[in-house]
Amino acid sequence: MAHAYTPGLKVTDYTVLRRQRRLPIQGDVLVKLGDTVRPDTVVAKTMLPGDPQTLNAANVLALLPNEVRSAMKKKEGDTVKAGEVIGMSASLFGLLKKRLVAPCDGTIERISDVSGQVTLREPPTPLELTAYINGKVAEVLPREGVVIETRGAYIQGIFGVGGEKYGPIRFRAQGPDRPLTAADIDQTCKGCVVVGGSLITGEAIRKAVEVGAHAVVAGGIIDTDLVEYLGYDIGVAITGHEDVPTTLIVTEGFGPMRMADKTYGLLKSLDGLEASVTGATQIRAGVMRPEIIVSGYQPAKAQAPAETSEGLVPGTPVRLIREPYFGRLATVVELPPELVVIETEAKVRILKARLESGEVVTVPRANVEILES
Amino acid sequence: MSRPKYDLGREINSILATDCGSTTTKAILIEKRDGVYRLIVRGEAPTTVEKPFEDVTAGARNAIREIEELTGRQLLDEKGIITPQKGQRGVDIYLSTSSAGGGLQMMVAGVVKTMTAESAQRAALGAGAIVMDCIAVNDGRKPHQKIQRIRHLRPDMILLSGGVDGGTKKHVVEIAELIAAAEPKPRLGIGFKLPVIYAGNKDATPNIADTLGDKMDLRVVPNLRPVLEKEVLGPAREEIHNLFMEHVMAQAPGYDKLMKWTPVPIMPTPAAVGSLVEMVGRQRNITVIGVDIGGATTDVFSFFEDTFNRTVSANLGMSYSICNVLLEAGLPRIQRWLPFFISEADLRNRIRNKMIRPTTIPQTLEELLIEQAICREALALAFVHHKSLATGLKGVHRGGTMDRFMEQRTQKETLIDMLKLNLLIGSGGVLSHAPRRVQAALMMIDGFEPQGVTQLAVDSIFMMPQLGVLATVHPEASAQVFDRDCLIRLGAVVATAGQSSAKTPTEVVRVKGTLDRGETFEESVKYGEMKRIPLPEGVTAELHITPAHGFDVGAGPGHRLETKVEGGVCGLILDGRGRPLALPEDPKTRAAKLLEWFRALDVYPGGPLDRLTGKEGAN
């Protein structure tokens, strides 16, 4: 393949971003094209149909399915209250009465003459969709949602858990290769996006939850700490829907991982600014990575937005993303065109890269990630 | 030779076929040369259904352009593929399969879990779908739990079955009412009605239409189980394919264009692979198991007792779903295949890092051994799943007492009989691209535990999907390319069923062989041993196999078997480890045993293996 390398994660101090905000079912859009929105602005809302309850009326009333309708006190479309008797049957000359009671408030949706089931629909629940980021409404999707556009700093992580959050960045890292410990987190982190160095330790996660931090960002996480935090093991790489109080984002991978200097430096310069973050990760069918967006950030010297990556060339900064050099940063030195036999005896395209220590190593091209700007 | 499903009414000498996978689009060019169809060249490019391209034809064009460059022929113009071939320009036909965008995702429902619901599941799986859930009246969940589940899923379509024709309508209508109450939404297209295929009791059709007609896009096909003794999957599968084209494909980016390039419908990738496995089984009159282990899913196909079955383990794979293998198998089962020590934390982190960076490849032998250990467990888990679904029809009553007794026995049994398996075919990156072919052979042997005498093969470059769709148009071309260019014959394995508790291992099987070119050999293995006998591709051997008392190679315990095997790149493997395969409990003994097998079969390069296992002992 022409591009046998992994495009890197985006880390930039200035870019233009668009985020689509879409209702799960059709509803009302509450903002107009060009409106300015904040992360908590409700941009669209809808009524989610209530949960249905199926009542086995034929069994309860001891009737045949096709006799249920005539025993009902309510008909399809009628509203009912919890505890209300909605059907009744009598036997033994009216001495034995059986009652069908509504288990909840709702509407009778269906009375089935074939199965003898009655479907009761609970009242609908409102769903409000927020803007998630600061920005302007760039497009309205009638009855479905909007597209919000913003400009500012943008950092992609490699993996995260937890949903959308926003809050000011609290930069608490002691260095890109130093772990974030519980001692680095205090009450001032409440409602904030806390940034650490190489690792979110298990104790730091617990402390972040305790003080009410909205999110924590660091280079790596130990797998067993993540399992402990979630209470279960993640099987498939689709996240973002976890019911956790604090969103976690790792920028490099699993294990203690020195945070890339560029990411570290940018997060440091964003200290105190409001960020929108999400841990949602999906590594399949439309790759989605966790992200940190700081709208309105104006760097002293803005980078020209890179439209497309040039690909791998000598001098390209890369991250090595597989053992035995996993997590190391390097610069491409040479890209031999021929296939090379590596230790496993596989014949692959390789490149030579200079590590920060000065050592030149050979790695498969598939095992590097371009450090994107 | 079987008849083509689609007859183009013209001669076909050149064929271009693509498989648009989740990550890569693979194109192959086939031509008839000297009267025989052969693979000429292949090309590949990243699939482009996602941003920034959002047009599947961009990736297909890139893959085909590689073929143009390699052959120096023009195959594409601004409208698409040039057909038919004129001189060195164009090809006679273009075909495609697709699993991009998550493939075909379905929910199935039936009345009785082990009867109509299972038939519905088989119909959907056979059509190439991932079955997200199977709802049944007796599945143990309460109605509100079923409704929550149906609401939560966003399938591409639902297949509903239940009841025999003329039987009770109540239960299938109950299930339809649950679906109506849940009002599930389709995965693609916010304003569309979800397609529901009804394949149940025909007498209940008006009631089903009354229940679902307004809310869903209802399609009615003949009952999957018109009578208990009969399963009719064809019409439902046809309708699934139609809906796949109308709904799923039509809404996936760029497929409207791709569909115009080809005169036959685009097939879901697993359906194409399945049709090929079935064709091989029928044409050669043999039993076959095929496996395709991908990044996200593992598909298993089997053809036994004239019945084709397919299962997909949606969350067992080598990259996106690799952590689910860890979750389902457990760390000790993965560690048991490693002849060196690695801490639990290190191993877990490495597996997670593979999940989040799925396109990386093992650079060190240590990493390769870890991936291949995970593969063994993924294969084993997927195969357990397959065996549970590849069964005879359940719920069939046959009269007399003895018949009923026999029926009860067989109802619990899978159709898969490993002692009768003739051919095991592996596919997917971890098997097809294993640096040494014997690694693929051993992974399949350890994962599937074949018994008796089994031929082994791998798909050379994963072209089974394209050959599957080609079989619908030109079965002969498909069969010729499959035989000559797709299958890499690994050889055969002779494995003894049975176990021994003797402290000193004794001989479990002795094999005398006579090659078709006249040479002879005689070899034996003790319990717990493995050996590899050279038997090159193209050479066949008559074998006289004598198992020890209590061990079976297919003719009954202790009985001699005479059979013929074909050679391959790995030759003839004698596996005396017994079945079910039990690895030593003690870590050091187990590591020593693994190394003994690896060395006996020459599975890994000696130097790196010695360096690796010279580390601090085993797990």
The pLDDT of B126-131, averaged and rounded, is 82
**If you average pLDDT over residues B203-218, what whole number do you get?**
93
Name the minimum distance, in Å, from the CA of A230 to any CA of chain B: 14
Confidence of residue B24 (pLDDT cuts 50, 70, 90): confident
Q: Is B5 within a domain? A: no
User: In chain B, whose CA is at the least distance from the CA of A64?
Assistant: B170
Q: Are A231 and A251 in contact (CB under 8 A)?
A: no
pLDDT at B408 (0 to 100): 40
Position B130 confidence tier, pLDDT thresholds 50, 70, 90: confident
Give the end of a domain, one of B100, B121, B137. B100
Specify the range with the lowest mean pLDDT, choosing from A49-53, A278-282, B33-37, B221-225. A49-53
For residue A232, the chain B residue with the least C-alpha distance is: B327
Average pLDDT over residues B266-287: 90
Q: What is the number of other CB atoms lying within 10 angstroms of the CB of residue A73?
A: 14
For an interface test with A, the pick among B99, B174, B323, B356 (most A C-beta atoms closer than 10 Å) comes out as: B356
Residue B618 is assigned to a structural domain of this protein: no
Which CATH fold topology does A52-121 show? OB fold (Dihydrolipoamide Acetyltransferase, E2P) (2.40.50)
B301, B310 contact by CB (below 8 A): yes
Test mutation, A114, A122, A227, A282, chain B, max B CBs within 10 A = A114
User: What would the pLDDT profile of B398-443 be if each residue is shown by its tens digit?
Assistant: 444 444 444 443 444 788 999 999 999 999 889 998 999 999 999 9
Chain-centre distance of CA A286, in angstroms? 13
CB contact under 8 A, A322 and B147: no
Which residues of chain B are within 8 Å of residue A121 when distances are taken between CB atoms? Answer: 181
CA torsion sign, B481 to B487 to B489 to B493?
Answer: negative
B580 cis-preceded (ω within 30 degrees of 0): yes
Q: How far is A207 from chain B (nearest CA, A)?
A: 22
DSSP string, B379-405: HHHHHHHHHHHSBPPSS---SSHHHHH
Q: Are residues B233 and B314 in the same domain?
A: no
Residues B475 and B552 in one domain: yes
The average confidence (pLDDT) of chain B is: 88
Residues B445 and B525 reside in one and the same domain: yes
What are the domain boundaries of chain A?
A: 11-45+130-295, 52-121, 317-370
Point out the domain boundary residue: B100, B130, B146.
B100
Residues contacting residue A255 through CB under 8 Å, at least 6 positions apart: A199, A220, A222, A326, A327, B346, B349, B353
**Alpha-carbon gap, residue A281 to A240, rounded angstroms:** 6
Do B331 and B250 sit in the same domain of this protein?
no
Cβ atoms < 10 Å from Cβ of A261: 13
By the CB < 8 Å criterion, does B363 face chain A? yes
Same domain, B466 and B587: yes
CATH number at residue B185: 3.40.50.280
B326 touching chain A per CB within 8 A: yes
Residues B181 and B88 in one domain: no
Q: Looking at beta carbons, which residues of chain A come within 8 Å of B190?
A: 22, 25-26, 144
Residues B111 and B94 occupy one common structural domain: no
Instruction: Judge if ipTM > 0.85.
Output: no
Whether residues B441 and B464 share a domain: the answer is: yes
**Does A114 sit within 8 Å of B207, measured CB to CB?**
yes
Contacts of A287 in chain B (CB under 8 A): 50
Question: Per residue in B231-247, is it b (16+ CB within 10 Å) or e — as a string?
Answer: bbbebbbebbbebbbeb
* Alpha-carbon torsion (B357, B363, B367, B373), positive or negative: positive
Helix (H) or strand (E) holding A318: strand A317-320
**Closest by CA position to B90, among listed B13, B197, B11, B143:** B13
Mutation target for B interface from A69, A230, A236: give the one with most B CBs within 10 A. A236
Under the banding of pLDDT at 50, 70 and 90, the label for residue B52 is low
Nearest by CB: B50 against A223, A224, A286: A286
Which of 154-193 (B) contact A at CB < 8 A? Answer: 169-171, 173-174, 177-178, 180-183, 185, 190-191
Cβ within 8 Å, pair B174-A346: no
Q: What per-residue confidence (pLDDT) applies to B462?
A: 81
Among residues B261, B279, B313, which one ends one of the domains?
B261
Q: Are residues B329 and B256 in the same domain?
A: no
How far is residue B63's CA from residue B463's CA, in Å, rounded to a whole number? 14
Asked if A237's CB is within 8 angstroms of B323's CB, the reply is yes
CA–CA distance, B187 with B149 (Å, rounded to integer):
14
Select from B211, B323, B362 the Cβ nearest to the Cβ of A344.
Answer: B362
* Residue of higher predicted confidence among B204 and B128: B204
Tell me the pLDDT band of B581, cut-offs 50, 70 and 90.
Answer: very high
CA A57, CA A74: separation in Å to the nearest integer?
A: 13
Return the higher-pLDDT residue of B268 and B334: B334
Residue with the bigger pLDDT between A335 and B153: it is: A335
At A125 the pLDDT is 87
Is 2.30.30.140 the CATH number for A317-370? yes
Residues B122 and B241 in one domain: yes
* pLDDT reading at B319 higher than 70: yes
Is the CB of B360 less than 8 angstroms away from the CB of A52?
Answer: no
- Mutation for A interface: B248, B360, B365, most A CBs within 10 A: B360
Q: Residue B519 above 90 pLDDT?
A: yes
Lookup: tokens for B342: 């690695």
pLDDT digits (tens, 9 = 90+) for B528-563: 999 999 999 999 999 999 999 999 999 999 999 999
Residues of B in contact with A322 (CB under 8 A): 353, 357, 360-363, 367
Do residues B504 and B545 make contact, with C-beta atoms less than 8 angstroms apart? no
* C-alpha–C-alpha distance, residues A364 and B541, integer Å: 41
Residue B557 belongs to what domain range? 289-613
Q: Report pLDDT for A142.
A: 92
Question: Which chain B residues contact residue A115 at CB under 8 A?
Answer: 170-171, 173-174, 177
The residue ranges of chain A whose pLDDT is under 70 are 1-8, 284-287, 301-310, 372-373
Give the residue among A192, A188, A199 at the shortest CA–CA distance from A221: A199
Q: Which residues contact B354 (CB under 8 A, 6 or more apart)?
A: B318, B319, B322, B360, B371
In a domain, B389, yes or no: yes
Q: What is the pLDDT of residue B8?
A: 72
What are A178's two structure tokens?
């130093």
Q: Which residue of B has its CA nearest to A224?
A: B345
Domain spanning A11-45+130-295: which superfamily?
A: Phosphohistidine domain (3.50.30.10)
For chain A, say whether B361 makes contact (Cβ under 8 Å): yes
Residue of B nearest to A235 (CA): B324
For A63, A150, A160, A239, A280, the CA distances from A288, given in Å and listed in that order, are 54, 19, 10, 10, 7
Q: Between A and B, how many residue pairs show a Cβ–Cβ distance under 8 A?
A: 181
Q: Name the DSSP class of A162.
A: S
Q: For testing the chain A interface, which of B363, B436, B439 should be mutated: the one with the most A CBs within 10 Å? A: B363
Report the chain B residue with the minimal C-alpha distance to residue A254. B349
Interface test with B, best of A47, A200, A223 (most B CBs within 10 A): A223
Please count the structural domains in chain B. 3
The b-or-e profile of A291-310 (16+ CB within 10 A means b, else e) is: bbbbbebeeeeeeeeeeeee
Are the beta carbons of A363 and B363 separated by less than 8 Å?
yes
Surface of B (336-355) touching A: CB under 8 A: 345-346, 348-350, 352-353, 355
In chain A, which residue's Cα lies nearest the Cα of B42? A1
Give contacts of B209 with chain A, Cβ < 8 Å.
none
Report the alpha-carbon distance of residue B71 to residue B28 in Å, rounded. Answer: 12
- In this prediction the pTM is 0.85
Chain B CB contacts of A233 below 8 Å = 323, 326-327
Select the residue of B144, B204, B359 nearest A53 (Cβ to Cβ). Answer: B144
Whether B288 has a pLDDT exceeding 70, the answer reads yes
Same domain, B300 and B248: no
Query: Å from B204 to nearest chain A CA?
Result: 9
Give B-chain residues touching A255 at CB under 8 angstroms: 346, 349, 353
* Beta strand residue intervals within B473-536, DSSP E: 487-495, 507-515, 520-526, 530-533
CA–CA min distance B367, chain A (Å):
7
Chain A nearest C-alpha distance from B590 (Å): 23
Cβ-nearest to A284 among B296, B353, B357: B296
Judge: A223–B345 Cβ closer than 8 Å, yes or no: yes
Whether residue A253 and residue B352 make contact (CB cut-off 8 A), yes or no, is yes
Q: Are residues B384 and B528 in the same domain?
A: yes
Q: Closest approach of chain B CAs to the CA of A187, in angstroms?
A: 31
B101 touches chain A (CB under 8 A): yes
